[in-house]
Structure formats: structure tokens, C-alpha cells
Amino acid sequence: MKEQKNSSSAMVVFSGGQDSTTCLFWAMKRYDTVIALSFDYGQRHHEELVCAKEICRQYQIEHIIMDMSLLNQLVSNSLTRPDIAVDEDAPEQGTPNSFVDGRNHLFLSYAAIAAKQRGITDIITGVSQSDFSGYPDCRDVFIKSLNVTLNLAMDFPFDLITPLMWRDKKETWALADELGILDLIREKTLTCYNGIRGEGCGHCPACKLRKKGFMEYMALKKNLS
């Protein structure tokens, strides 16, 4: 069953993690054709690209992997270099050392160029302001600003769609459950900064956030049943 279909096709920026996988299945309920777009930027947790490929193959989703190794040359931080440890806790000031300058800006701009070639206006990304971990390019104001810029840059009515913008991790787990993909997200996706799929390493910030949200959602579900 398709619901609230905006147009027939959408492109989903897809990393193989919890959030973008949830968005991919959210999109598949709403569009006839969904194309997944992943970026290879020499990320420390390269295993996430393997997860992305496997999910697309299993569900027969067209998958584009774009080379963005340039980003790795530009930015040295804990997500692009294996010799820099990921901060366990958020810093008191500034962005965490897992923040990659310009990542969402570049990814969404390249996604828009690829989407326009196919006549696709709707671009879906799993960014969230509710759980934005101090990343400025996950904020709603940035997405709205970039949307205007992309429309002006290419004279095309792009629509940057953010299904998770106002959901915290607990609510993202709830959405996955609603979409019937709770186990798929638990087992087949990779969010961990140390590159371990599923439950992950358990102590990096991404694992902590994912687990906390899952426990909160399970507690809520138990109370409701």
C-alpha cells in the first residue's frame, strides 16, 4: 500500500546506518521508485557501505555508490582517519571530533545533481535535529537553506525531505517498528563509529545513542501493551 505519494520517484541518501535505512523503507511505502545513493569517502567504518549494498541487493533497490574520496583528503578527523580515536563524550564547546566539515552539504549537493539528471525532485535524508549530536549540518535551518540554494543553483524544484528531523532515537525505533523493519535495523545496519554492525561496540557515542533509544522504545512498547 502506497500512502501520501508525492511523486513517483525519490532518491534516498543512504549510509547503511539506522537512520538512513529507516528513511529508505519509509520512502518505499510512498514512492513507486526509490534510488539509494551512498558515498564512499574512505570512511573509517567502511563496513557501513557493505551493509548498504546488502540491504539494496536483498530488497532489489537501485544503488549508486559515489566516490567522494576528496572529502577524506580535505578533512582529517576521527571518522576519516583510523589513527584518530572517536571522542567518547561530546566536547563542552564546538563540534565533536566525529563531525566531518561539509559532509552533508556536499552529499546533498551531489545527490541533487544526480537526482536532477533523472528528473527526480524528492531527496530524502535521515538527519535529525532532535538527536543532532552537535552537528550543524543536521539542523532544520541548514536543510531549508540548502534547499533554497539548490533550487536556485539548478533552477529545479528540489524538495529535501527529512522524515526524522523532529524524532529522537526512541521515535526513530518506533518508526522502524511501524514500518515492520525493527529486526532488520537491529541486525543489518551499522551505526557504530568502530565499524561493528548490529549492537555495535557498545561504548562509542553512536552506539550509546542507538542503545539508549532502543531501550526507551522497548520500555514504552511494554507499557503500552
Write out the residues near Zn ion by the rule CB under 5 A: 192, 194, 200-201, 204, 207
DSSP the chain: ---S--SSEEEEE--SSHHHHHHHHHHHTT-SEEEEEEEES--S-THHHHHHHHHHHHTT-EEEEEE-HHHHHH--STTT-TTSPPPSS--SSS--TT--TTHHHHHHHHHHHHHHHTT--EEE----STT-TT-GGGSHHHHHHHHHHHHHHHTS--EEE-TTTT--HHHHHHHHHHTT-HHHHHHH----TT---TT--SSSHHHHHHHHHHHHHHHHHHHH-
Q: How far is the CB of 85 from Zn ion (least distance, A)?
A: 12
Q: Please, which residue, 13 or 207, has the CB nearer to Zn ion?
A: 207
Instruction: Name the residue nearer to Zn ion (CB basis): 164 or 192.
Output: 192
Smallest separation, CB 146 to Zn ion (Å): 29
Give the residue with the Cβ less far from Zn ion, 77 or 121.
77
Residue 43 or 121 with smaller CB distance to Zn ion: 43
Closer to Zn ion at the Cβ: 112 or 207? Answer: 207
In whole angstroms, the minimum distance from the beta carbon of 87 to Zn ion comes to: 12
How many other CB atoms are found less than 10 A from the CB of residue 46? 13
| Smallest distance, Zn ion to C-beta of residue 65, A | 23
In whole angstroms, what is the distance from residue 47 CA to residue 37 CA?
16
Given the complex with Zn ion, which of 151 and 194 has the nearer CB atom?
Answer: 194
Q: Least Å distance between CB 221 and Zn ion?
A: 24
Cell numbers linked to 12 = 534516498
Quote the least distance from Cβ 186 to Zn ion, whole Å: 14
